[in-house]
Structure 1
Amino acid sequence: MKKIYSLGLAAVALLVLATGCGKEAEGTNKSSSSSAQEEVTVKLGVIGADTDVWDNVQARLKDEGINLEYVKFTEYSQPNTALASGDIDLNSFQHQFFLDNFNEEHGTELVSIGNTVNAPLGIYSDKLKDISELKEGDKVAIPNDVTNGGRALNLLESAGLIKIDETKKQAPTVSDITENKLNLDITELEASQTARALQDVTVSVINSGMAVDAGFIPTEDSIFLEPVDEGSRPYVNIIVARTEDKDNEVYQKVVAAYQNEETVKVIEETSKGSSIPAWETFGSK
């Protein structure tokens, strides 16, 4: 009887132990499943191939359970359309002036949720070493969208090449040029084509991101670079969301991860000092 009783106790003990282990394993599986479900993917629209800065941000976001997925576009007309339609969650490629113009033209309500960098516009050339070398009738390429085109014309005026109607200074067009002493032949191109056009024109006005993608260091390779001052505020690059998502907690974490000291170092390295962390100069948004 004692032997039977002992065997019975042993069997009960084994059953309890097995049951306990089963519950522990089940609990671990539930925890792992829950953790996997908590990871959130944020689709970020960008222009161009250079994502070094965002790669640095992405590494920090993974610790927050956020997976950043790049959706790459080639033309400035695309990322806002994709954001408005819900194909992406955020985009980061434009300045405030560009966004305001897009909203007005398309009846959208996209908003800035954070500043990224100020990237000065530059004049580049394969043929000249200095802006003063431009001659009568030389060809000049500028971006063809309203905001960057107007910005390019203001830059040409800053360089002393043209004069613009005073009443149209914020968003001038080629027709607003009041003086062009060298009769420069100004051609408007899609912004992504301005760097490629260098072989066909004397000088080209190129956005900083496009210039870096083309292998230029703006502070070293441009023959004239846009000054950075309070007048640069409308041209600060931003992270953009749909209006209903402006306070989204996950998206705010994306902004916080970008506006970080580690990001400052990467911006300095990748842009060779040509881009400036805008949240340090102009505030977080």
Structure 2
Amino acid sequence: MKKFKLLSLLTGVATAAALLVGGVQNAKADTTITVGASANPHAIILKHVQKQLKDEGVNLKVKVYNDYVLPNKALANGDIDANYFQHKPFLDNWNKHNNGSLISVGNVHLEPIAVYSKDYKSLKDLPKGAKVDVSSNTADYGRVLQIFKDAGLITLKKGTKLSSATFDDIKTNKKNLKFVHTFEAKLMPTLYKKNDAAATVINANYAVQAGLNPKDDSIARESSSSDYANFIAVQKKDKNNPAIKKLVKALQSKETQSWIEKKFDGAVLPAK
């Protein structure tokens, strides 16, 4: 009987030890990644897939940035594992001027940049010589020019590439519009509220943060363009990181893409 009790005791200890070891191994199986993102919509979209990733062994942490300067610096320095806030022309420009080598590993959504005005209902209503506030983000200039070109208000010089275009590439300006590009993108909603210009161009994420809807509140909005889709960016060494791949797969899933379309009601569009 004593031998049986001893055997039972040893078996119980062994089982407990196995469970403990198994728990430690499972804990080690969870991989933590930190992704830098703009508050809206990027961080919101990331948080939508957190539970799914947790079930797949990935602990996703989201670090919010309120500008377009720090996220790439943090990624290049290794302070974060990935970021999610930019489109290809922006990253290309950043890599060029910072000797960087950050890459995209998957598109997620498009934020249609739009023009807002408190005094006019369409671009064609803008008066001659009207001031148009545009951010200092040069990577968005091509998008802005395309909107005004589509409206028939400007033409561009022959051979102009929108990905690198500037306002110096305007050939004809029918209303002699004054494009002022002095302030950072995050300040555009504030300028709009001050109503200092006839029209203000605002990136969708900052517009949404300010309570504006690009679909309902703007007087003009860019059409979908894959060149300006926002994506997950990483260092080259993490291109095949399993945790990053799981993140991208979750963000590009039909469920998440459908959720994006419904959640943001046209202010944010699923990537195509």
Identity %: 35
Alignment of structure 1 residues 141-220 onto 2, 5 Å: 141-170=133-162, 171-188=164-181, 189-198=183-192, 199=194, 200-220=196-216
Match of 1:36 among 7, 27, 30: 27
Contact 1:113 1:246 in 2 (8 A): yes
> 2: distance between equivalents of 1:49 and 1:277?
15
* Alignment pair present for 1:239 and 2:232: yes
Q: Deviation digits for residues 210-245 of structure 1, max 9, x if unmatched? A: 2222222212111111122xxx23212211111111
**SS across alignment from 2:250:** helix
Match of 1:11 among 2, 7, 12: 2
> 2: distance between equivalents of 1:207 and 1:173?
17
Deviation at residue 267 of structure 1 after TM alignment: 0.6
Match of 2:88 among 86, 96, 99: 96
Q: Residue in 1 aligned with 2:105? A: 113
> 1: distance between equivalents of 2:140 and 2:39?
16
Q: Residue in 2 aligned with 1:227? A: 223
Q: Residue in 1 aligned with 2:257? A: 264
Deviation at residue 89 of structure 1 after TM alignment: 0.6
| TM-score (normalised: structure 1) | 0.87
Q: Residue in 2 aligned with 1:134? A: 126
Give the letter for the 1:90 counterpart.
Answer: A
Q: Residue in 2 aligned with 1:273? A: 266
Q: Deviation digits for residues 116-160 of structure 1, max 9, x if unmatched? A: 112222111223222222113322111212211332223222223
Q: Deviation digits for residues 98-119 of structure 1, max 9, x if unmatched? A: 1112111111111111111122
Match of 2:36 among 33, 45, 63: 45
Indicate the RMSD between aligned Cα atoms, in angstroms. 1.7
In structure 2, relative to structure 1, the CA distance for the partners of 1:120 and 1:181 (3 Å cut) is same
**SS across alignment from 1:257:** helix
Deviation at residue 257 of structure 1 after TM alignment: 0.8
Larger gyration radius, structure 1 or structure 2: 1
Q: How many aligned residue pairs are there?
A: 267
Which runs of no fewer than 5 residues in structure 2 stay unpaired?
A: none
> 2: distance between equivalents of 1:36 and 1:271?
35
Deviation at residue 13 of structure 1 after TM alignment: 1.8
Question: Structure 1 runs of 4+ off > 4 angstroms?
Answer: none
Contact 2:143 2:222 in 1 (8 A): no
Deviation at residue 265 of structure 1 after TM alignment: 2.5
Which runs of no fewer than 5 residues in structure 1 stay unpaired?
A: 1-9
Contact 2:40 2:208 in 1 (8 A): no
Deviation at residue 16 of structure 1 after TM alignment: 1.5
Contact 1:150 1:172 in 2 (8 A): yes
Contact 1:90 1:240 in 2 (8 A): yes
| TM-score (normalised: structure 2) | 0.91
Deviation at residue 201 of structure 1 after TM alignment: 2.1
Q: Deviation digits for residues 175-194 of structure 1, max 9, x if unmatched? A: 33333333323221211111
Deviation at residue 33 of structure 1 after TM alignment: 1.4
Match of 1:60 among 24, 34, 52: 52
